[in-house]
Every structure is written in structure tokens, then in C-alpha cells.
């Protein structure tokens, strides 16, 4: 990391009128992360000297977006001039040779571009360099990435104090303010002009989303992942995918999801903070904050809720819901079943329509099923209850007591057929 460099991130208002939103502009998300998160990550890779200059009472809302409390430097409500902002930038830069003004609404700026910008400024002994797209400098302060020599700016502030105090900091055009005759300044054009895209409204937000999604998807494809239709595949910036995985359109992969080798994600899955083993197959399912073992299949239309651990070689079928449960290796929960707050052993077979009745009105209770157990269709397991290994439960049973190992449990009323009942009823009604 550069020690003689500072990064100044301006956040100068709690709302964005162009966005028509109560959310601060820099906290709007691109591919699942706030723009400020991207800016902070890039800044951290460049230097330890980072300052977020805030105004308008928005400092508190920055927490939880990669901004530690020590990074935030609020400006007083009466310090709303260009002079106050630039003076604060000089002070927090300390003994740095340069600072980079990096607005938090430019999520596409990369570390390599900022390093090239610094090298360009230093090699030519420049006082100021603007990161420009094409041949046009952006006039809006919110869209300017500028590298400034700290000592030169401090001298400029002394000479033009009165002028700068009359300019509101939210509207200042910093590039054109740096017009002292002795200034040595130039434009620097990045290799990828899209990096200078400033998000100012919902339209530019969607454009940044598209550009970031393309960047993320291209990285995964270069690393050996097949995306059938990248334009319809939504992958967050922190998702890891190993090679030879195939992802069909409509998949949404979020958070810190990790996908192992050779998986197949058929259309329309949503995964958030999920860990998949190797060779997993998913179809049209939602999986949240859970893990899935090797060669397991899930779906279609399964819902695996947070805190679940699904073993290897497991089958989770259609319209199955798993909540905060452990499913052992080789077990099958094929369809129309709810497994909540339960622990199933290895090679358990769960029939259609099984329900773990885990809530007694006050607290959640546990269901435990041993290895090789067979749970028939339409069984209710009333927690807390234990079904021991190698046991069988007859279809339609409601189980309230322990089922011993290798036993057959039947808990249902005996069938009674009343011959001639329909004819008798019709005579009575007539």
C-alpha cells in the first residue's frame, strides 16, 4: 500500500433528489453491494490513509458499508463552502504527497486505474490530474476523480480563501477551481472509459449495474465457468465459483456464496451466503445461508432456509422446505414436505407430505431421526420426538413418542366401513 497517498471520499448529502429516494446516493446497491462498499474496497487496496468527509448529517448511515468509524470526518452544518471542504481534505491528508478525491458514486473505478493515475501525476510532477472519459471533463463535482498535490492545494487555499468560501461545496467544480497560473494539470484517460461513469439517478444506476455485472460474469467465464446467457445471470461481487460449473439463465447468486466444481444450476435459482460442494444440481430453488454437500440434488421449487446443512448424495425434491436442519448423507426428502429444527441421519427416506411439527406455541422443539429410518407419507412428527435408526413409520401416522430402533410405528385410527350408510342417509333426508 502507498503511504504517501490519501483517498478522500466525499459524501455531502443524506438524500438524492435525482434518485427520488430517502437513501443516500452512495448507499444504493450495484450487483448487491452499495456503491460506497466498492469505493472503500478500492481505496483500502491503495492506501491506509482514507477519510470519508460527510455533510448533511449522513455520517451515521455510512456504518456497515465498509466504513469504520475512524474514517468518518463530519463537516459542521455551517461549513458548507468549497473552502471548508478542501481545507478538511488537506488536514486529513496529513503529510501525504497526493490525495485522490474519489466520489462514492463511481463504483466502476478500479485499483489499477488509480495506480496509473498516481504514476501519471508523479512522473510528470503535476499538481492536479483529472480522470476523464473520452475528451470531456465532467463538470459535476460528484463525478470527478481528481489527484491533487496536497502542498500545492494548501497554498492555493491561502491565496483564494475568500473566493472559495463563497462557493457551496455541493456545487463546486473542483477541476475548474484549480486554475492558478502556476498549476500544472492534465487529463488522464483510463483504458476503460466506463470506469468514470458517475451514478446520479436510477438510469445511470442501471447502467452501472449492467457494466458491473458484465465485469463480474466475464471474470467467472475466464476462470472456467460456463454461463449460458451472461446477460440473464446475476452474480454478486463476492461470489466464488469453481471451474466446470454450468449456470443457466435466471440464476441470482448473492453474498458470500461459494460454488464447487462441476455443479449445474438450471434456471431460476436464488442463493445467498450458500456453500455448494462439487457436482451439485439445483433446479428453480431458493437456498439461504446453508451448505449443500457433494452430488446432492435440490428442487425444483425447494426452499432451504438459513442454518441448514445438507449432506452429500442427498435428494431434496419439489416443494420441500428445510429450516435450520441437518440432513445426513444419502437421505431423500423427495416432495411436499416440511423439515424444521430437525436432525436426520444417513440414508433416511422421507415420504410425501411429512411435517416436522416443531412449534408448541411458545418455543421451537427438535426432531431427531436415526440412520436408515423410513418415514411414510403424510406423517406428523410432533417435537420433541426421536425416531431411532432402522425404524419404520406407517403412512398417515402422528408420532408423539419415541420410536425404538427397528420398530414399526403405527399411530392412526383403525378404518371402519359402514355398509349401506349412503342409502340410509338418503332415506332420512327424504
Q: Identify whether 79 is part of a domain.
A: yes
| Cα–Cα distance, 111 to 113 (Å, whole number) | 5
190 and 42 inside one domain: yes
53 and 180 inside one domain: yes
> Would you say 129 and 113 are in contact if contact means Cβ atoms under 8 Å apart?
no
25 and 143 inside one domain: yes
Tell me how crowded residue 399 is: count the other CB atoms within 10 A of its CB. 22
Beta strands in 214-274 (DSSP E): 226-227, 234-235, 240-241, 246-247, 252-254, 258-259, 264-265, 270-272
Cell of 201: 439517478
Report pLDDT digits (tens) over 319-362.
999 999 999 999 999 899 999 999 999 999 999 999 999 998 88
Domain CATH code at residue 289: 2.160.10.10
pLDDT for position 139: 46
Q: 413 or 375: which carries more pLDDT confidence?
A: 375
192 and 291 inside one domain: no
Least confident of 3-7, 100-104, 220-224, 298-302: 3-7
> Which residue range(s) make up the domain with 112?
2-196
Mean pLDDT of the chain: 91
> Would you say 372 and 345 are in contact if contact means Cβ atoms under 8 Å apart?
yes
pLDDT for position 65: 67
Omega of the bond prior to 300 within 30 degrees of 0, cis? yes
Report pLDDT digits (tens) over 139-170.
455 678 999 999 999 988 888 888 888 888 77
Which one-letter DSSP state was computed for residue 413?
Answer: P
Number of structural domains (the chain) is: 2
Q: Identify whether 207 is part of a domain.
A: no
Of 128, 163, 196, which one is at a domain's C-terminal end? 196
14 and 133 inside one domain: yes
pLDDT for position 135: 42
Radius of gyration, alpha carbons of the chain: 31
Q: Identify whether 110 is part of a domain.
A: yes
Of 177, 196, 215, which one is at a domain's C-terminal end? 196
Cell of 366: 427438535
184 and 288 inside one domain: no
pLDDT for 11 beyond 90: no
Q: Identify whether 236 is part of a domain.
A: no
* pLDDT average, residue stretch 40-61: 83
170 and 300 inside one domain: no
Cell of 68: 469504520
pLDDT for 138 beyond 60: no
> Would you say 250 and 65 are in contact if contact means Cβ atoms under 8 Å apart?
no
Q: 269 or 22: which carries more pLDDT confidence?
A: 269
Of 180, 196, 212, which one is at a domain's C-terminal end? 196
Element (DSSP H or E) covering residue 118:
helix 111-123
Largest CA distance in the chain: 112
pLDDT for position 134: 53
Alpha helices in 224-366 (DSSP H): none
Q: Identify whether 230 is part of a domain.
A: no
Q: Identify whether 270 is part of a domain.
A: no
Q: Identify whether 206 is part of a domain.
A: no
Domain CATH code at residue 181: 3.90.550.10
176 is catalytic: no
Residue of 73, 335, 372, 389 marked catalytic? 335
Q: Identify whether 229 is part of a domain.
A: no
Report pLDDT digits (tens) over 188-244.
999 999 999 999 899 999 999 999 999 999 999 999 999 999 999 999 999 999 999
Amino acid at each position: 500500500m502507498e503511504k504517501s497517498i490519501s483517498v478522500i471520499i466525499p459524501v455531502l448529502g443524506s438524500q438524492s433528489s435525482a434518485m427520488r429516494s430517502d437513501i443516500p446516493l452512495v448507499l444504493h446497491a450495484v450487483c448487491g453491494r452499495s456503491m460506497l462498499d466498492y469505493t472503500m474496497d478500492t481505496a483500502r487496496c491503495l492506501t491506509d490513509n482514507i477519510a470519508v468527509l460527510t455533510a448533511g448529517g449522513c455520517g451515521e448511515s455510512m456504518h456497515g458499508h465498509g466504513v469504520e468509524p475512524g474514517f468518518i470526518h463530519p463537516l459542521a452544518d455551517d461549513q458548507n463552502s468549497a473552502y471548508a471542504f478542501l481545507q478538511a481534505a488537506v488536514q486529513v491528508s496529513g503529510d501525504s504527497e497526493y490525495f485522490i478525491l474519489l466520489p462514492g458514486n463511481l463504483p466502476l473505478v478500479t485499483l489499477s486505474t488509480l495506480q496509473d493515475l498516481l504514476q501519471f501525476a508523479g512522473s510528470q510532477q503535476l499538481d492536479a490530474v483529472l480522470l476523464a472519459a473520452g475528451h470531456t471533463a465532467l463538470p459535476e463535482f460528484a463525478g470527478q476523480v481528481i489527484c491533487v498535490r496536497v502542498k500545492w492545494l494548501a497554498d492555493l487555499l491561502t491565496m483564494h480563501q475568500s473566493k472559495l468560501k463563497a462557493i457551496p461545496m455541493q456545487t463546486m467544480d473542483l477541476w475548474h477551481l484549480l486554475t492558478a497560473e502556476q498549476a500544472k494539470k492534465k487529463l488522464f484517460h483510463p483504458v476503460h472509459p466506463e470506469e468514470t461513469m458517475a451514478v446520479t439517478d436510477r438510469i445511470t444506476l442501471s447502467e452501472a449495474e449492467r457494466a458491473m455485472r458484465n465485469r463480474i460474469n466475464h471474470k467467472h467465464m475466464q476462470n472456467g465457468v460456463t454461463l449460458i446467457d451472461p446477460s440473464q445471470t446475476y452474480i454478486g461481487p463476492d461470489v466464488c465459483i469453481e471451474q466446470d460449473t454450468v449456470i443457466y439463465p435466471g440464476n441470482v447468486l448473492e453474498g458470500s456464496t461459494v460454488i464447487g466444481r462441476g455443479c449445474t444450476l438450471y434456471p431460476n435459482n436464488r442463493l445467498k451466503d450458500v456453500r455448494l460442494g462439487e457436482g451439485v444440481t439445483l433446479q428453480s430453488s431458493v437456498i439461504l445461508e446453508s451448505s449443500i454437500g457433494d452430488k446432492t440434488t435440490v428442487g425444483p421449487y425447494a426452499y432451504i432456509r438459513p442454518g441448514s446443512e445438507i449432506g452429500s448424495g442427498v435428494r431434496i425434491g419439489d416443494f420441500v422446505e428445510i429450516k435450520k436442519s441437518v440432513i445426513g448423507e444419502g437421505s431423500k426428502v423427495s416432495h411436499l414436505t416440511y423439515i424444521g429444527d430437525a436432525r436426520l441421519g444417513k440414508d433416511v427416506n422421507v415420504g410425501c407430505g411429512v411435517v416436522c411439527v416443531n412449534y408448541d406455541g411458545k418455543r421451537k422443539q427438535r426432531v431427531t431421526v436415526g440412520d436408515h429410518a423410513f418415514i411414510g407419507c403424510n406423517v406428523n412428527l410432533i417435537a420433541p420426538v426421536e425416531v431411532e435408526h432402522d425404524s419404520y413409520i406407517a403412512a398417515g401416522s402422528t408420532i408423539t413418542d419415541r420410536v425404538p430402533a427397528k420398530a414399526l410405528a403405527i399411530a392412526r385410527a383403525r378404518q371402519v366401513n359402514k355398509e349401506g350408510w349412503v342409502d340410509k342417509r338418503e332415506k332420512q333426508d327424504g
